[in-house]
Structure 1
Amino acid sequence: MSALRFAVAGDWHGDLSIARAVVRTLKCEDVHLLLHVGDLAVRWPGPKKGRFDKRLGQLLDDADVELLFIDGNHDNHKELRELEPLPDGTQRLSGQMSYVPRGTVIERHGVRIGGLGGAYSVDRRWRTEGKDLWSDLEEPTPEEAERLIASAPVDVLLTHDAPAKINGLKGLALPPEIASAAGRTRELLQSAVDALKPALVFSGHWHQRKSHELDWGDGTITAMHVLAHEGSWGGNTVLVHWAGNGSPGVMPLRIRS
């Protein structure tokens, strides 16, 4: 396995300012791979549909950065599933930008990257089905988790929601039935982590920066990182140095405006 440097970003929600700053920073840092944990908001419906996608694609082309993203809960699930499939299992949005479907494992420079996106929208009562909500498609399923586990090993796992064993996350005060529904995804993701024991897990969704380690008792650990949203540049994007031996290094990316 060769050394690889790559970046991982949290939710952007179609915000071009942080997208521009991150991609330009990666160009300066000579980093050519960016992973995204969902709520990217490409193909987002509305009068400005496609503008963010087009500009982001131009930025990626100019910087020679490949963007691989999973889906969050606030993504256009219907249109993502209709994207052009590629031989490596991804689905292309544009030249340098591809969606990693749930349950898919891809490889870059010997590093195996798994995707299990999606989450329950706790704000669904304020959303409109088919416009900014796809309630029957937004949550990952046990079948998708099983497909991912069957593709083991996985070195880096991308999820949108955070696995259940990440503690200390500050969330909204939710009615019990909504909290229970949202918790389904966290438990499902944790079952995938327990089965795969990846070196790294990256999540978003909670709009805050948190880290937690799981010690498997055999000399290996899983470092789990929740990334902040677009409003927190200091916690949104990290730089990963994967040397192929020892623990991978994860550090904040100093985003240049």
Structure 2
Amino acid sequence: MRLFLTGDTHGGLSAEKLSEKNWPEQNKLNKEDLLIILGDFGFIWSNEPNNTERYWIKLFDEINCRVAFIDGNHENHSRLSEMPEVSFQGGMAGQVSENIWHLKRGEIYRMGNRDIFVMGGADSIDKFARKPGISWWESEIPSPEEMEHAFQNLEKFDNKVDYILTHTLPKKVVSSFMKWFEKTNDPTSIFLDIVNDRCSYEKWFGAHFHEDFEHGKFQVLYQQIIEVDMNLMKNI
């Protein structure tokens, strides 16, 4: 199994990176392999499926590898919650189509020889300009029950995983290189501070900030598509 990660796609606005021209490696992949989009997938957006959605879903169904995503803040969370729940790579996921899965908040998946903790969600700083139930959903923020579910799953693994995949990042981490973030009050990032303090892990991957950069154990993705090591086990 090969695993690839990339950042926000925003319902096609930032999806050109996935074309065969920009990502030719996809031609070497098969249905054992997986591409994960780290939030703001955005292709499930309208309250009812439309032609644009069907077009993109068909493209993802025809890609050589499987496709999964964690939810960001810019998603139709109501529709995502209605997707049939299925077993996927040792955890639970929403089945969007025959080749697309929504990775659930707080789940831990087994991929290759890796244990991977996933937590979607983030606060929309532009929600004042959005319409509830149309372009903004309150459930963009993980609920207390989802946070508790995450803590319980991590405890089952003695708070040790190989990789952590989220949309946003811990508040203390972001504030160390983006000073304006100190003034934000995103419950998701504050929750992730606790995860960061409690857990041992090899690397943490996120998106959300529309940049590609690394900061210690953290790697933020936007336009980059990276392959992560699935086999070599390291002490963490």
TM-score bracket relative to the smaller structure: 0.7 to 0.9
Q: Secondary structure at the residue paired with 1:151?
A: helix
Q: Is the 8 A contact 2:170 2:190 kept in 1?
A: yes
Q: Is the 8 A contact 2:17 2:23 kept in 1?
A: no
From 88, 97, 106, the counterpart of 2:100: 97
Q: Match for residue 168 of structure 1?
A: 177
Q: Match for residue 230 of structure 2?
A: 242
What is the CA-CA distance between 1:101 and the residue it aligns to?
Answer: 1.4
What is the CA-CA distance between 1:58 and the residue it aligns to?
Answer: 3.2
> Structure 1: how far apart are the matches of 2:197 and 2:148?
12
TM-score (norm 2): 0.82
Q: Match for residue 111 of structure 1?
A: 114
| Alignment RMSD (CA, Å) | 2.7
What is the CA-CA distance between 1:53 and the residue it aligns to?
Answer: 4.1
Please say if 1:180 is aligned against 2:180: no
Q: Is the 8 A contact 2:6 2:37 kept in 1?
A: yes
What is the CA-CA distance between 1:139 and the residue it aligns to?
Answer: 0.8
Once the two structures are superposed, residues 59-80 of structure 1 have per-residue CA deviations (whole angstroms, 9 ceiling, x without a partner) of: 3443331112111000000110
> Structure 2: how far apart are the matches of 1:159 and 1:98?
15
- Aligned residues, how many? 222
Distance 1:40 1:50, change over 3 A: farther
Q: Secondary structure at the residue paired with 1:187?
A: helix
> Structure 1: how far apart are the matches of 2:78 and 2:47?
15
Distance 1:24 1:210, change over 3 A: closer
Q: Runs of 5+ in structure 2 lacking a partner? A: none
Return the letter of the residue paired with 2:205.
F
Q: Is the 8 A contact 1:142 1:188 kept in 2?
A: no
Q: Match for residue 30 of structure 1?
A: 29
Q: Is the 8 A contact 2:72 2:120 kept in 1?
A: yes
Q: Match for residue 5 of structure 2?
A: 8
> Structure 2: how far apart are the matches of 1:6 and 1:170?
33
Q: Match for residue 211 of structure 1?
A: 214
Residue identity over aligned pairs, in percent, reads 26
Once the two structures are superposed, residues 169-204 of structure 1 have per-residue CA deviations (whole angstroms, 9 ceiling, x without a partner) of: 4868xxx9xx4323x321211211222222221111
From 209, 215, 225, the counterpart of 2:219: 225
TM-score (norm 1): 0.76
